[in-house]
């Protein structure tokens, strides 16, 4: 369950809050102190048991401010996440720990994710954490490429994107989003390709090739970021998500939904494959890297990448 920690914090905050209030209300506290609970003929053992129980409950109540602070901070302000895969390379690497600003797209109920106070909406180019539209227990992180009403076209050959703004409203492409791509250059990022001699066993697994990614700059209306491509990898056209009444590789973003893509274009399961992300699924905007461990996917870290700590660009 994706929000199990939130539920635990909510329950812990509620119950410790009860004890905290119980011991902070003056008249109840005075009542407990002054009432003759223990009679003169009670044994010392019974007296000691009651005192120990009272001390335990007071200690439990002292945790309330901590639980309340963590619950409010994590549910409404900031939440940490770890990058587990390379789908956002070169912007985010495996081993990066990021801070997500929860209130960027509204104050939301931490359990149902329903918007309570509408503050803002994603902008094109934002890096967003969201719940997968089909598997709600999974968190994904991608870049916002298409806004509600946009028409998105993806060229399967050169892997470039074309965007027509407000197509859903005007029904024609009157305003194109200017997208420029730089010349592709070889990078140091590697994609390992594995061969399995036995499809039911990984014991005879071996690497038969390591492909180097090409890196290039994608400039969307002067918002620049780097992306990775594997020039010799071609995904079959039938693997892409086909919107109803639309041709393959062309999508119109519905109202209240967004089109997401990973910066590692040939190693990212995103809106090209499973469709759009509803606004209610948005968790927040990734803003900073607060820690980065030098590691590969499914491997132990070998060091700390101090130079990566800071703002996400």
pLDDT in tens, 97-130: 999 999 999 998 888 888 889 989 999 999 999 9
Residue 193: pLDDT over 90: no
Domain with CATH 2.10.109.10 in the chain: 83-311
**What mean pLDDT value characterizes the chain?**
84
Is 40 one of the catalytic residues? no
Is 87 one of the catalytic residues? yes
Beta strands 282-294 and 303-304 are: antiparallel
Of these residues, 102, 108, 131, 142, which one is catalytic? 142
Of these residues, 12, 85, 87, 104, which one is catalytic? 87
User: In whole angstroms, what is the distance from residue 106 CA to residue 77 CA?
Assistant: 10
User: In whole angstroms, what is the distance from residue 268 CA to residue 85 CA?
Assistant: 9
Q: What percent of the chain has pLDDT over 70?
A: 84
User: In whole angstroms, what is the distance from residue 210 CA to residue 196 CA?
Assistant: 15
pLDDT band for position 268 (50/70/90)? very high
Buried b (16+ CB within 10 A) or exposed e, 202-220: eeeeeeeeeeebbbbebeb
Residue 160: pLDDT over 70: yes
pTM for the full predicted model: 0.82
- Which CATH superfamily does the domain covering 83-311 fall into? Umud Fragment, subunit A (2.10.109.10)
User: In whole angstroms, what is the distance from residue 303 CA to residue 86 CA?
Assistant: 18
Which distant-in-sequence residues (6+ apart) come within 8 Å of 118 by Cβ?
106
Q: What's the rounded mean pLDDT across residues 260-268?
A: 95
62-100 per-position pLDDT tens digit: 888 888 998 899 889 999 999 999 999 999 999 999 999
């Amino acid at each position: 369950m994706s929000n199990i920690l939130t539920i635990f914090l909510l329950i812990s905050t509620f119950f410790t809050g009860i004890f905290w209030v119980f011991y902070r209300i003056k008249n109840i506290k005075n009542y407990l102190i002054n009432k003759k609970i223990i009679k003169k003929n009670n044994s010392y053992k019974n007296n000691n048991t009651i005192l120990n129980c009272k001390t335990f409950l007071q200690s439990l109540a002292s945790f309330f401010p901590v639980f309340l602070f963590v619950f409010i901070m994590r549910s409404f302000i900031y939440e940490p996440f770890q990058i587990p895969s390379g789908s956002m390379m070169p912007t985010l690497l495996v081993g990066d720990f990021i801070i997500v600003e929860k209130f960027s797209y509204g104050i939301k109920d931490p359990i149902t994710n329903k918007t309570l106070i509408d503050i803002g909406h994603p902008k094109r180019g934002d890096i967003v954490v969201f719940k997968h539209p089909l598997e709600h227990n999974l968190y994904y992180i991608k870049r916002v490429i298409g806004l509600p009403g946009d028409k998105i076209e993806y060229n399967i050959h050169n892997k470039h994107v074309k965007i027509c703004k407000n197509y859903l409203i005007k029904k024609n492409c009157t305003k194109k989003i200017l997208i420029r791509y730089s010349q592709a250059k070889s990078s140091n990022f590697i994609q390992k390709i594995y061969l399995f001699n036995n499809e039911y066993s990984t014991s005879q697994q071996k690497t038969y090739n390591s492909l180097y990614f090409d890196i290039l700059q994608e400039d969307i209306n002067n918002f620049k970021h780097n992306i990775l491509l594997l020039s010799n990898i071609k995904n079959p056209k039938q693997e892409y998500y086909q919107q109803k009444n639309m041709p393959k590789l062309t999508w119109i973003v519905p109202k209240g939904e967004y089109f997401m893509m990973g910066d590692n274009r040939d190693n990212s399961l995103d809106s090209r494959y499973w469709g759009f992300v509803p606004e209610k699924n948005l968790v927040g905007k990734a803003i900073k890297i607060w820690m980065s461990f030098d590691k590969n996917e499914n491997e132990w870290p070998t060091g700390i990448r101090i130079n990566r700590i800071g703002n996400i660009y």
